[in-house]
């Protein structure tokens, strides 16, 4: 399975509509090069551009949804389209990740559970999701997580119990805490014996420089590829069978004593 992570630059001087069109073109260009394409968190607006959350909020099937559905179909890829500011029918805002299949059909929608910002920004402007979500990518069911979720290992364990063999962490992680990003991405891979596809942004907006350094980690914790700090596309070939091999050769997941016991065979 060929996977491309698109580490998009999210700079303030590029209008949202222009970035949306540019990213759709980048996705289309993955045709024949990747089977699965992954985008970062809130790339249309910028994860820290709080002043754009209200004006750029989109309904469930808004402009980013439509552009990404069409791009996935044109490219014939599975597409984790990163996340958007979703305005729900009751007026609340969510940080919502969208996943499409290769005909452009929606296959998963994940509302970020752990909101970032403590007493400001996303944490006060957005409502939390309350559902664990996996995307049914063939051979590699993917558990979905967004940025700050990476700090909450119980979310990932829950996704393993739901059948995830890999995780997408779509993020807009700040440069100041880049070491945490890399360390926690590897930790989530090692403790769950699963692939981690961690896709962040480049550039800077609202005074927050982005970390970049998107990475793909295998179920043993090895970093298969890592980006630098600029806009970049990482393409890696994964072997989904590595997950079962790792779990059989080093069956630590079977030794769990606390929480939900693993389903048979995992």
Ligand X SMILES: O=C(O)CCC(=O)C(=O)O
Select 132 or 253, whichever has its Cβ closest to ligand X.
Answer: 132
Nearer to ligand X, 81 or 145 (CB): 145
Cβ atoms 10, 205 nearer than 8 A: yes
Contact 3, 197 (CB under 8 A): yes
Check residue 200 for interaction with ligand X (CB under 6 A): no
Residue 173 in contact with ligand X, rule: CB under 6 A: yes
CB nearer to ligand X: give 115 or 247.
115
- Which alpha helices (DSSP H) does the chain contain, by range? 16-28, 50-56, 63-75, 122-125, 153-161, 178-192, 241-249
Residue 177 binds ligand X (CB under 6 A):
yes
Closest CB 11 distance from ligand X, rounded Å: 17
Identity of the residue, 47 or 97, whose beta carbon is nearer to ligand X in the bound complex:
47
Three-state DSSP class for 196?
Answer: strand
Q: Which helix (H) or strand (E) segment is 91 a member of?
A: none
How many whole angstroms separate alpha carbon 129 and alpha carbon 90?
14
Q: Is 41 a catalytic residue?
A: yes
Interface positions, 48-107, toward ligand X (CB under 6 A) = none
Report the DSSP pairing between strands 204-205 and 208-209: antiparallel
Q: Is 147 in the site for ligand X (CB under 6 A)?
A: yes
| Strands 36-38, 2-7: pairing kind | parallel
| 151 interacts with ligand X by CB under 6 A | yes
28 φ/ψ sector (left φ>0, alpha ψ -120 to 50, else beta): alpha
How many residues lie near ligand X (CB under 6 A)? 10
Q: Which of 172, 200, 203, 212 binds ligand X (CB under 6 A)?
A: 172
- Give bridge partners of residue 111 from the DSSP assignment: 96
* 120 is a site residue for ligand X (CB under 6 A): no
Tell me: does residue 16 bind ligand X (CB under 6 A): no
Minimal CA–CA distance to 194: which of 216, 218, 225, 159? 218
How far is 232 from 264, CA to CA, in rounded Å?
Answer: 40
Residue 265 CB, nearest distance to ligand X (Å)? Answer: 33
SS3 of residue 195 by DSSP: strand
Which residue from 94, 100, 116, 167 is in contact with ligand X, where contact means CB under 6 A?
A: 116
At which residue do the structure tokens 């045709």 appear? 31
Answer yes or no: 147 catalytic: yes
Give 94 or 148: the residue with its C-beta nearer to ligand X: 148
Catalytic residue, candidates 56, 86, 122, 147: 147
Helix, strand, or coil (residue 32) = coil
Q: Does position 174 bind ligand X by CB under 6 A?
A: yes
199 as an active site residue: the answer is no
Give, rounded to a whole angstrom, the gap between the first and last alpha carbons of the chain. Answer: 21
Catalytic residue among 56, 58, 86, 112: 112
Nearer to ligand X among residue 41 and residue 58 (C-beta)? 41
Query: x/- contact string, 178-197, with ligand X (CB under 6 A)?
Result: --x-----------------
Binding site for ligand X (CB under 6 A): 47, 116, 147-148, 151, 172-174, 177, 180
List the catalytic residues.
41, 112, 147
């Amino acid at each position: 399975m060929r996977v491309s992570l698109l580490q998009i630059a999210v700079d303030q001087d590029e209008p949202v509509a222009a970035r949306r069109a540019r990213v759709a073109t980048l996705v289309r260009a993955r045709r024949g090069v990747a089977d699965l394409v992954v985008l970062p968190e809130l790339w249309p607006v910028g994860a820290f551009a709080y002043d754009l959350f209200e004006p750029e909020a989109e309904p469930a099937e808004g402009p980013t949804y439509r552009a990404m559905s069409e791009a996935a179909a044109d490219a014939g890829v599975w597409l984790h389209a990163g996340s958007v500011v979703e305005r729900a029918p009751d007026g609340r805002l969510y940080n919502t990740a969208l996943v499409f299949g290769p005909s452009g059909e929606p296959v998963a929608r994940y509302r970020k559970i752990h909101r970032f910002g403590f007493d400001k920004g996303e944490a006060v402007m957005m409502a939390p999701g309350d559902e664990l979500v996996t995307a049914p990518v063939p051979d590699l069911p993917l558990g979905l997580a967004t940025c700050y979720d990476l700090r909450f290992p119980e979310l990932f364990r829950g996704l393993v119990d739901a059948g995830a063999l890999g995780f997408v962490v779509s993020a807009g992680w700040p440069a100041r805490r880049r070491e945490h990003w890399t360390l926690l991405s590897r930790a989530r891979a090692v403790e769950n014996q699963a692939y981690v596809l961690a896709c962040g942004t480049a550039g800077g907006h609202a005074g927050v420089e982005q970390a970049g350094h998107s990475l793909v980690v295998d179920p043993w914790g090895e970093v298969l590829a890592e980006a630098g700090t600029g806009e970049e596309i990482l393409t890696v070939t994964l072997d989904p069978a590595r997950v079962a091999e790792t779990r059989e050769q080093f069956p630590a997941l079977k030794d769990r004593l606390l929480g939900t016991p693993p389903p048979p065979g995992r």
